[in-house]
Structure 1
């Protein structure tokens, strides 16, 4: 069967075919890819379709062109532990892509998304093409605003929403608009590594506030920093810690609300996994004055590479944010944005979320039971209130980077706790992403973990005499 006869747009099938070809290459060794005409004959599509597939990969930095020679692949880097941790995130992401065949979305929404885009294409075949908007398509901004509006008191409008091509780009623009260079910023830790990277590049004075295993912050420390420093911004996950999985008690949220309001501090809530709460719960943004709230999120977990758009909700400071997005002039595909808007308006995302939450909850709880049964003498798990992973603490003073390195040698990937800190915190912790674990690779992972802990304990005992 040719690619032309497969479901979806032909260029998407070409993109996936080339991605698999690149991933299968030897790590770190560039190689020449088939010519446009040769690949068009092989896959049964037009040369222009092949060209567009190559263009998408070139934008991602996965291929490059040489004049009069053709296209060359940049295969994933060989995954080895970086001594300074500077590229640890990129290496772990590369290994995840290799193991699961790409960053698959959490939900199978790519097919309905492409169907909706065909509808939009047919509609605009007889109408003028939609105008380009530097802050994003109005229809998609309206759909996202409606999604976050729950009452007359907590409501959002289209002009509060800003769109970017991905989460990293969105964060760069947001921190540029806030002019945070040199300013103290409080961050609840463990924190999303992409957020930490963007804050470091914004050259802020980053102050980490470690969460306890119960999801609580040291509110005395928060009060101290707010009273002694001119803190501009506080960064938290929405509803629960997306890395750790624990939820902050309501009483703590009330205290934080009072502190942030009293000191007029911006709150930035990372809502990238907020939809994955297993039980209803409060978000801090529901209590803080709307004019001081920023919410960031991403559509990539649900739609994958088809629409990796990220969004910012900001009810206050319209001019700085609008100006920053206009300066960047990010040209997102207009028809794709309208198709995503229709997908949200028709409730296709909401239809699948309840089943996904149940599936993730059962998967993580099963993994928790297996770890307690087989590795309970080494590890304690934080009971997850949501998310896709399990946060584990070593019972012994052991650096999880070393465990990570041992597992890496056996082709198994865990995420060491220091990945989620800007200052090397959480070295006794690790996170297991449970999203793509089945019974077979769970067994292999637990075997490798057990062996790594035995070896590390032997080394520790030898060092302690």
Structure 2
């Protein structure tokens, strides 16, 4: 066992030493690192140890590989945010609607730099091709389609969604899916299926403000549970809450959580589902960013480990293909009939033309090519924003470095006030999402969520420079 541990310690030590040299300025942006062979010889280690150290540094955004040239120091990102949140773990009535609405309403102006937006740039999506597909699809629509697809949604679209899951190793039958008006309706339907007014629901800390709005709307209470910015919700803290508070459900983002960008490791997702199954507690899984991964493959959702039908898995095409088309879906497991009845008694169906258009687009291919380009663009924009934050913000600023999605979470130095930054930035036509809107208790007073889903042009960089000045404590 000791011999097996030693290589891991060596590459971690080497990576940490190089990182210290980069952050101290001994190694600067653009400097070339020793070749793997040189570093192995000088350190007296195997080449694989150096490779592992370089891969680790690359994952941290500190170095970049150049084809046939070697590894070079990248622009130094801000220090990572490594500590989990520390909520009380108590049930609380939710009253965030007015605060969230006031902030979001103020950021909807077209003249603002949309760093506080919840949406990526429209230019990243194949909207022209989708429009052509819709024009040709609508001409062929059967007038009876509304009735045919009344209960679960367009059969061809559900088949395409099921096929995508199957390619990723997740067997969900097309008849186990309900097409919805975007992911928000899917999430609301899931919540309605498993809760009653007065129930408590577990959410992450911080959590997406829309989940708090949904709880408030249904008269539910929130239990915020400690969440790590890299690996998601703390399962130990969750286990304690499940035992002590007996919540009716959990609403979690297990992949690229909004606002943190955290990605729960696969083993932890499995443990999460097993923990909830022991308590017979449903999980409403919000997976709208699952396709926006920067690694080699899509992270499996928690739904992949569900054997009891307790995971109500929700997603949509809004964040990865067709913003504005409002097409989402839910795989509600054992709650399928309840969700289908709720859908039938509220909005009946999603948009028939939009459903048929997306089904035709997926059938004719091109979606994966689009996703590759989208992921590449978002990863580059993430790195550019991190570099700008390192350049313009106070040195004590901490930031996440997500492996997918399009949000950064910043923790500003002591003395900073995120709400004050929001107000002063908006006066200069820059929007940000201040930390307090991501908490039922208005916590995270020093935190900001920034959207890197827009091309990093001069306008964005100038806005980040302004924000950096505003973030400096008085």
Mapped pair 1:170 → 2:186: yes
Mapped pair 1:444 → 2:462: yes
Structure possessing the higher relative contact order (Cα contacts under 8 Å, 6 or more residues apart): 2
Q: In structure 1, what is the equivalent of residue 471 of structure 2?
A: 453
User: How far 1:290 moved relative to its partner?
Assistant: 5.3
Structure 1 residues 390, 414: CA separation in 2 closer, same or farther (over 3 Å shift)? Answer: same
Q: In structure 2, what is the equivalent of residue 308 of structure 1?
A: 326
Distance in 2 of aligned mates of 1:261 and 1:214: 24
Q: In structure 1, what is the equivalent of residue 432 of structure 2?
A: 414
Distance in 2 of aligned mates of 1:386 and 1:332: 28
Distance in 1 of aligned mates of 2:342 and 2:220: 18
Q: In structure 2, what is the equivalent of residue 236 of structure 1?
A: 252
User: How far 1:386 moved relative to its partner?
Assistant: 1.0
Match among 101, 105, 108 for residue 94 of structure 1: 108
Distance in 2 of aligned mates of 1:366 and 1:105: 19
Structure 1 residues 443, 305: CA separation in 2 closer, same or farther (over 3 Å shift)? Answer: closer
Q: In structure 1, what is the equivalent of residue 421 of structure 2?
A: 403
Distance in 2 of aligned mates of 1:195 and 1:366: 30
Distance in 2 of aligned mates of 1:217 and 1:83: 24
Q: In structure 1, what is the equivalent of residue 79 of structure 2?
A: none
Count of aligned pairs:
372
More off after superposition, 325-334 vs 412-421: 325-334
SS of the residue 1:291 aligns to: coil
User: How far 1:123 moved relative to its partner?
Assistant: 3.3
Structure 1 residues 263, 142: CA separation in 2 closer, same or farther (over 3 Å shift)? Answer: same
Offset from partner CA, 1:232-268 (integer Å, 9 cap, x none): 2112213232321222234433432331121111111
Distance in 1 of aligned mates of 2:429 and 2:467: 12
Contact 1:165-1:330 within 8 A present in 2 as well? no
SS of the residue 1:332 aligns to: coil
Structure 1 residues 392, 256: CA separation in 2 closer, same or farther (over 3 Å shift)? Answer: same
User: How far 1:444 moved relative to its partner?
Assistant: 1.9
Contact 2:229-2:261 within 8 A present in 1 as well? no
Mapped pair 1:267 → 2:290: no
Distance in 2 of aligned mates of 1:235 and 1:294: 9
Structure 1 residues 247, 170: CA separation in 2 closer, same or farther (over 3 Å shift)? Answer: closer
Q: In structure 2, what is the equivalent of residue 298 of structure 1?
A: 316
Mapped pair 1:209 → 2:225: yes
Structure 1 residues 404, 83: CA separation in 2 closer, same or farther (over 3 Å shift)? Answer: farther
Q: In structure 1, what is the equivalent of residue 12 of structure 2?
A: none
Mapped pair 1:130 → 2:132: no
| Pairing 1:68-217 to 2, within 5 Å after superposition | 85-91=99-105, 94-95=108-109, 104-105=121-122, 107-124=124-141, 129-132=144-147, 133-150=150-167, 154-217=170-233
Contact 2:288-2:316 within 8 A present in 1 as well? yes
Contact 1:215-1:241 within 8 A present in 2 as well? no
Contact 1:92-1:415 within 8 A present in 2 as well? no
Distance in 2 of aligned mates of 1:300 and 1:254: 27
Contact 1:416-1:431 within 8 A present in 2 as well? yes
Q: In structure 1, what is the equivalent of residue 389 of structure 2?
A: 371
Offset from partner CA, 1:289-324 (integer Å, 9 cap, x none): 251111111222345455122221112122211211
Distance in 1 of aligned mates of 2:344 and 2:270: 36
User: How far 1:388 moved relative to its partner?
Assistant: 1.0
Offset from partner CA, 1:57-80 (integer Å, 9 cap, x none): xxxxxxxxxxxxxxxxxxxxxxxx
Distance in 1 of aligned mates of 2:269 and 2:123: 29
More off after superposition, 368-377 vs 351-360: 368-377
Match among 257, 274, 278 for residue 273 of structure 2: 257
- TM-score with structure 1 setting the length: 0.73
Distance in 1 of aligned mates of 2:99 and 2:122: 27
SS of the residue 2:228 aligns to: coil
SS of the residue 2:454 aligns to: coil
Q: In structure 1, what is the equivalent of residue 76 of structure 2?
A: none
The runs of at least 4 consecutive aligned structure 1 residues that moved more than 6 Å come to: 100-103
Contact 2:195-2:249 within 8 A present in 1 as well? no
Q: In structure 2, what is the equivalent of residue 353 of structure 1?
A: 371
SS of the residue 1:274 aligns to: coil
SS of the residue 1:182 aligns to: coil
Structure 1 residues 212, 259: CA separation in 2 closer, same or farther (over 3 Å shift)? Answer: same
